[in-house]
Copies of this chain bind each other. A is one copy, B any other.
Amino acid sequence: MGAAASGMTGKQDPQVRISDRFWDSYRELVRKTVIPYQWEALNDRIPDAEPSYAIRNFRITAGMEQGEYGGMVFQDSDVAKWLEAVGYSLAQHPDSELERTADEVIELIAAAQKEDGYLNTYFSIKEPGNRWTNLHEAHELYCAGHMMEAAVAYYEATGKRRLLDVVCKFADYIDQVFGTEPGKLRGYDGHQEIELALVKLYKATGEERYLALAQFFIDERGAEPNFLVEECKQRDGFSHWANKKIAIPTVAQMAYNQADKPVREQDTATGHSVRAVYMYTAMADLARLTGDASLLEACRRLWANTTKKQMYITGGIGSTHHGEAFTFDYDLPNDTVYAETCASIGLIFFAQRMLQLEAKSDYADVMERALYNNVIGSMSQDGKHYFYVNPLEVWPKASKLNPARHHVKAVRQKWFGCSCCPPNVARLLSSLNEYIYTASAERNTIYTNLFIGSEASFELAAGRVGLKQESHLPWEGYVRMEVTESPKAELALAFRIPSWSYGEAEMIIGGQAAKYEVVDGYAIVTRAWSEGDVAEWKPRLEAQLIAANPAIRANAGKAAIERGPLVYCLEEADNGDLLSSLTIQADTKLHSSYDPGLMGGAVVIEAEGCVDNMASWQPDLPYRPLAQQQVQEASSVTLRAVPYYLWGNRKTGEMTVWIRTSGL
Within 8 A of B (CB), among A367-410: 395, 397-398, 401-404
Segment among A56-64, A121-129, A626-634 that sits at the interface with chain B? A626-634
Expressed in whole angstroms, the Cα–Cα distance for A662 and B617 within the complex equals 21
- Pick the contact of A630: B333, B586, B630, B660 (CB < 8 A): B586
Inter-subunit contact A402/B320 (CB<8 Å)? yes
Set of chain B residues within 8 Å of A553, measured between Cβ atoms: 395, 578, 580
Q: Note all chain B residues with C-beta closer than 8 A to A630.
A: 586-587, 664
User: A443 on the interface (CB 8 Å rule)?
Assistant: no
Q: Which of B307, B328, B550 contacts A617 (CB 8 A)?
A: B550
**A587 to chain B: closest residue by CB:** B630
A656 to chain B, nearest CB (A): 10
> In the complex the two chains form, is A331's CB within 8 Å of B398's CB?
yes
- Assembly CA distance A662 to B319 (angstroms): 29
List residues of A (571-611) whose CB comes within 8 Å of B's CBs.
578, 580-581, 583, 586-587
A578 to B331, CA, bound (A): 12
With the chains together, A567 CA to B258 CA distance in Å? 44
Q: Which residue of B lies closest to A634 (CB)?
A: B664
State how many angstroms separate the Cβ of A103 from the closest Cβ of chain B.
43
Contact partner, A559, options B502, B614, B626, Cβ 8 Å: B626
Given the interface pairs A404-B336, A664-B630, the reply to whether A625 lies near B544 with Cβ below 8 Å is yes
Stretch at the interface among A83-91, A308-316, A458-466: A308-316
Q: Is the CB of A401 within 8 A of B327?
A: yes
In the bound assembly, the distance between CA atoms of A262 and B336 in angstroms comes to: 34
Tell me, yes or no, whether A241 is within 8 Å of chain B by CB.
no
Q: Which residues of B contact A581 (CB under 8 A)?
A: 550, 556
Residue of B398, B578, B627 near A551 (CB, 8 A) is B578
Residue of B nearest to A319 (CB): B402
**Are A328 and B397 within 8 A (Cβ)?**
yes
A614 and B628 alpha carbons, distance in the complex (Å): 32
Query: In the complex the two chains form, what is the Cα distance from A307 to B620 in whole Å?
Result: 9
Residue on B with the closest CB to A581? B550
Which among B309, B398, B578, B614 is the interface contact of A622 at CB below 8 angstroms? Answer: B309
Q: For the complex, is A549 an interface residue (Cβ under 8 Å from B)?
A: yes
Contacts of A628 in B (CB 8 A): 547
**Among A309, A333, A553, which residue has the most Cβ atoms of chain B within 10 A?**
A553
Closest beta carbon of chain B to A502's beta carbon, Å: 7
- How far apart are A177's CB and chain B's nearest CB, in angstroms? 35
Bound: A556/B617 CA distance, A: 14
List of B residues within 8 angstroms of A612 by Cβ = 550, 556
Pick from B307, B323, B549: contact of A619, CB below 8 A: B549
User: A125 to nearest B CB, angstroms?
Assistant: 24
In angstroms, how far is the closest chain B Cβ from the Cβ of A60? 27
Can you spell out 29 A-B residue pairs with CB atoms less than 8 angstroms apart? A308-B620, A308-B622, A311-B622, A320-B404, A322-B404, A331-B397, A544-B625, A545-B625, A545-B626, A546-B623, A546-B625, A547-B623, A547-B626, A548-B622, A548-B623, A549-B621, A549-B623, A550-B581, A551-B614, A551-B617, A553-B580, A556-B580, A557-B660, A560-B623, A586-B629, A586-B630, A587-B630, A626-B661, A626-B664
New A-B pairs, 5, CB < 8 Å, besides A331-B401, A552-B622, A557-B583 = A308-B619, A546-B626, A549-B621, A559-B626, A626-B661
